[in-house]
Structure 1
């Protein structure tokens, strides 16, 4: 993991509202799979930075780590969007 491809987990909204978009899945992902979301973001950022396509990373999270499709896709979509914006 290099700092160039590190995507930090979002802070909870300051106004107490629920997160929107892919980040809305993050509390459930942490609860369901027992790892902090930052671990999933780091693993995913490494894969995407190495050139793996979106759906290949989704499949990897599902088969190697047991994530459901929606959770895996939310993580990959969030990381891709943050990497594209940086």
Structure 2
């Protein structure tokens, strides 16, 4: 399984937004994350098709709001026989 991993300095709860940028009609997905007692967030990307994507994380910590945005690309691994 493929993941995007984010390591925080403290436990966090928030939202994940994934948007496919490389198609004429952008596709978007939303989910909620909770690192519970760890500092690690793993966002699964196995279901994401090939192309350019944008991930946005937003969360609240100690009454302050934070956001992280990053673009990434998924490329198919072609097998050569």
Q: What TM-score bracket applies, with the shorter chain setting the length?
A: under 0.3
TM superposition score normalised by structure 1: 0.26
Of the two, which has the highest radius of gyration?
2
**TM-score, normalising length: structure 2:** 0.27
Higher share of residues assigned strand: 2
